[in-house]
Amino acid sequence: MNVIIGQNAKELGIEAGKKSAVLIRQAIRENGSANIILATGSSQFETLKQLILEEGIEWNKVTMFHLDEYIGLPVSHKASFRRYLKERFLDQVPELKSVNLINGETDAREECKRLGDLIYKSPVDVALVGIGENGHLAFNDPPADFETGEAYIIASLDNECRQQQVNEDWFGFVEEVPKQAISMSVKQIMKSKHIVCSVPDIRKAKAVKDSLEENVSNLHPASILQNHPDCYLFLEKSSASLLTKKEDYGEKNKNN
């Protein structure tokens, strides 16, 4: 795991966005195209802001997959992740080769199968992900299913996850947050050739510590990233504040 600790969320996003762009350009150079996964949530704000500014990405050679979406939430709702990606990414870059958003308003099992068939044919080069306050990766809340071979699954959201969405003001109260989502599975995320994980904010400090310094366990879903061969974890001072082994994470962090 490559851990990069920035001074603040802005700097984290700039570094994570730049790294994502380097990896996308590299995939296009090597294969003529790139397959990417985009996440949403507040953790991706600054990263996506930087990614859309990056020059020299042939977006018409990029196929996008979507990490997770609530079941039953209309695209007009401010918490809709399709809406989020449209406003913060798709409307900001030239047309992509292909866009595979998750429709949470149709038959969820059929939608998982449809997207699963597409992603099986499209090995992912770069996945942008975040870590939730409860340590989740996508909507794989603890205890996460580390075993399923399905690419997309129907996930139940736990109370901590639903409360986080209210605290971030995506919803007015917890009863309004859907109880289920379509989520990319942990195994599918781990198949990505490169992973860029953006985790700002003091609220994530405990989840970051558990993910990096506890043993890999489905009780800390993002701890699985320790097993990935090319994962870049972008933190900032506050989200990294509980780490006790910073010196083990590389040259770049000596001054933090």
Binding residues for ligand GLP, rule: CB under 6 A, are 39-43, 67-68, 129-132, 136, 138-139
Q: Between 68 and 125, name the residue whose CB sits nearer to ligand GLP.
A: 68
What are the b/e assignments for 125-147, b being 16+ CB within 10 Å? bbbbbbbbbbbbbbbbbbebeee
**Minimum CB distance to ligand GLP, residue 183 (Å):** 8
What residue has token string 């068939």? 117
Order across the sheet with 2-6: list the strands: 2-6, 231-236, 194-199, 126-129, 34-38, 62-66, 98-100
Nearer residue to ligand GLP within complex by CB, 24 or 197 = 197
> Based on CB atoms, which residue is closest to ligand GLP, 68 or 210?
68
Which residue lies nearest ligand GLP, judged by its C-beta? 41
Q: Tell the smallest beta-carbon distance from residue 116 to ligand GLP (Å).
A: 18
> Closest approach of Cβ 11 to ligand GLP, in Å?
17
Residue 25 CB, nearest approach to ligand GLP (Å): 23
Q: How far is the CB of 139 from ligand GLP (least distance, A)?
A: 5
Q: Which is nearer to ligand GLP, 28 or 79 (CB)?
A: 79
Whichever of 3 and 129 has its CB closer to ligand GLP, that residue is 129
What span, in angstroms and rounded, lies between the C-alpha atoms of 209 and 34? 32
How far apart are the C-alpha atoms of 101 and 194, rounded to whole Å? 21
Best CA proximity match to 130, nearest among 215, 202, 234, 244: 234
